[in-house]
Amino acid sequence: MIPTSKNFNAIALSCMIYYWKNNTVFQIDTLMISQDRIYFYEVKNYEGNYFYESGKLFKKPNLEIMDPLIQLKRSESLLRQLIHSLDIHLQIEPFIVFVNPAFTLYQAPDNKSLIFPTQIKNHIHRLNTAPSKIEERHRKLAKRLLSMHISDSPENKLPNYHYDKLQKGLICPNCRAFIETIGKRKYVCTLCNHEDLLDNAVLDSIKEFSILFPDEKITTKIIYDWCRIVPERRIRNILLKHFTKVGHHRWSYYIYK
């Protein structure tokens, strides 16, 4: 996706950035630095039929996957903070590019950041018709970003942790803040106003618990303690609905169906 027009000059790079300011890592699939802006691309090679429903992305028939728009928003925010810390002031245009021609998205949101396979050619043409001149400040920015490239993410090296030392509660999937209040069926994050079913937040929390503690049994008591703000009876009902119960009474636990 690198334009070659004589009018459009840009520096293209791809790297994994370690951002020292908040000890964060984020991936840059493709980034192009032009005269007055930075074109930031997340490249997805999804194949098959997908659809949006209630603000979530699913692969047919009904498999929920991580919404790339959320990933793009996070990476864009980190990139903007980074270039501002370097005293660089360029507009950022973020995009998600679906490159697989066998990809179809139904009920797609009206979002200019999405580029579908049939739109790639027109997008490149638009860049080719936009004049751009590279200066030394652009080259310095590219070199600075490349100097921050790391070959292996520190996130792959998990620190030691203990259950009793971890902060517990439900986490908003949009901004990763802890959810402070819940309703009978839904919750609304007070930080980013993200709204979803309470059951989904509990299920996400159970997945995180299982990843962190794969040898621990999933019980009503432990998930109730892990989620904190959800009534124990509601936890039990969610487990009975989505998991298979093993055993009886105080010795019972749950496994994935």
**In this structure, is the dihedral angle defined by the CA atoms of residues 165, 168, 172 and 178, taken in order, positive or negative?**
negative
Give yes or no for a contact between 38 and 92, defined as CB atoms under 8 angstroms apart.
yes
Residue 134: strand, helix, or coil:
coil
In angstroms, rounded to a whole number, what is the distance separating the alpha carbons of residues 227 and 144? 42
Residue with tokens 């998991």: 243
Please work out, in degrees rounded to the nearest 5, the angle formed at the alpha carbon of residue 178 by the alpha carbons of 172 and 182: 75
How does pLDDT run along the chain (257 residues), one tens digit per residue? 444 445 567 777 776 665 555 556 677 888 899 999 999 999 999 999 999 998 889 999 888 888 889 888 888 888 888 888 888 889 999 999 999 999 999 999 989 999 999 999 999 988 888 888 888 888 888 888 887 776 655 555 556 888 998 999 999 988 888 999 999 999 999 888 888 999 999 999 998 898 888 888 999 999 999 999 999 999 999 999 999 999 887 789 998 77
At a CB cut-off of 8 Å and minimum separation 6, what does 37 contact? 90, 91, 92, 93
Amino acid occupying residue 248: H
Residue with tokens 């998205």: 105
In angstroms, rounded to a whole number, what is the distance separating the alpha carbons of residues 26 and 22? 11
Q: HSE-up of 169 (CA within 13 Å, CB side)?
A: 12
- Cα distances from 175 to residues 69, 117, 179, in angstroms, run 12, 29, 10
pLDDT value for 4: 47
